[in-house]
A and B are shown apart, each in its own frame.
Chain A
């Protein structure tokens, strides 16, 4: 069902629209869980008595209800979009990014609290004997809380995206060493299906506007 709002945002000049993978996650989850539950239910039913068969039927019933409920939520909303006015981001970038999600069915107007975190993570892998070990460290974290609104079937809010010059680093993606920027969002109250969303950002090795000094490790607070 259309709500009159065009589906899919156009990226602003020099910007980009990132889309969540909500639908893929739901379908993937169903594809794994449903066959697994069916197999378990059949095994229980074949090897047990009347009580076991009853539990198998309950298990199938609960799973079916969960899938139907999930599918109904899945059909309510399009994928979440994160509209960035600049891409890739730069050291010192400071801009508002828009979060948009369009409803496919009629939904009531309301306010939705959004909490989230923007972080820069170093991730390394190393070999110890035959084991490959991984270590992660967040060198920069900025939490934020904003309020979004659902009006006329469209959820919108603005997220502050600030890439500091003094902590973190431009994105790197080597075989054993990575630096990645990510925004993680919690949209509890918008949809019962997958309230946590995340988007990977790319930060280029470029200072935004002449904003200061060379990139290096975090400075202790003054």
Chain B
């Protein structure tokens, strides 16, 4: 699954957008060089791309959220990056859930870290299913 990004130079390709608890989401992060701009230290320098996996609740209650995995991919002197990363999903979940008062949503996000600039963030919803539930996923999930 290809994810378009707020940063026009950044693309994230998620290999599978469903994962069991205790497994991982794998994605390839690519950043092409910024047109006509060298990535020299100073204002506007791209310092890296931060990838995060986390969940948050929605519904009647106040929001709970957590980031369960994150890492920073370095960029080269032209602001380029290309890396395959794996973000682990904790074995104790939570799983994606759509209940009466509570929803649990999972999100994989990427943020370009720009020195003295507004970081550009983009995200994609992913689905976390119970252990042993991946092979038996047989229909559209209500969260989609």
Contact = CB atoms under 8 A, between A and B. Distances in A.
The finding on whether chains A and B are genuine partners in a shared complex, rather than unrelated, reads yes
A125 B130 contact: no
Nearest to B137: A214
A124 B138 contact: no
Interface in B50-98: 57, 59-64, 92-95, 97-98
Contacts of B99: 122, 137, 139, 169, 179, 217
Interface residues of B, number: 32
A212 interface: yes
Contacts of A216: 97-98, 141-143
A205 B61 contact: no
If over half of A's interface residues share one DSSP class (helix, strand or loop), that class is named, otherwise mixed; here it is: strand
A217 B98 contact: yes
Contacts of B61: 124-126, 135, 176-177
A124 B136 CA distance: 30
Given A175-B64, A176-B62, A217-B142, A205 B102 contact: no
**Interface extent on A, as a size class?**
20 to 34
B118 interface: no
B86 to A, nearest CB: 20
A126 B102 CA distance: 12
Interface in A70-103: 90-91
Interface of B: 21, 57, 59-64, 92-95, 97-102, 104, 129-133, 135-139, 141-143
**8 nearest A-B pairs in the assembled complex, by CB-CB distance:** A124-B61, A174-B64, A205-B93, A206-B131, A176-B62, A207-B132, A176-B61, A122-B101
14 contacts: A127-B62, A135-B60, A170-B95, A176-B63, A177-B64, A179-B97, A205-B21, A205-B93, A205-B94, A207-B133, A213-B137, A213-B139, A216-B98, A216-B142
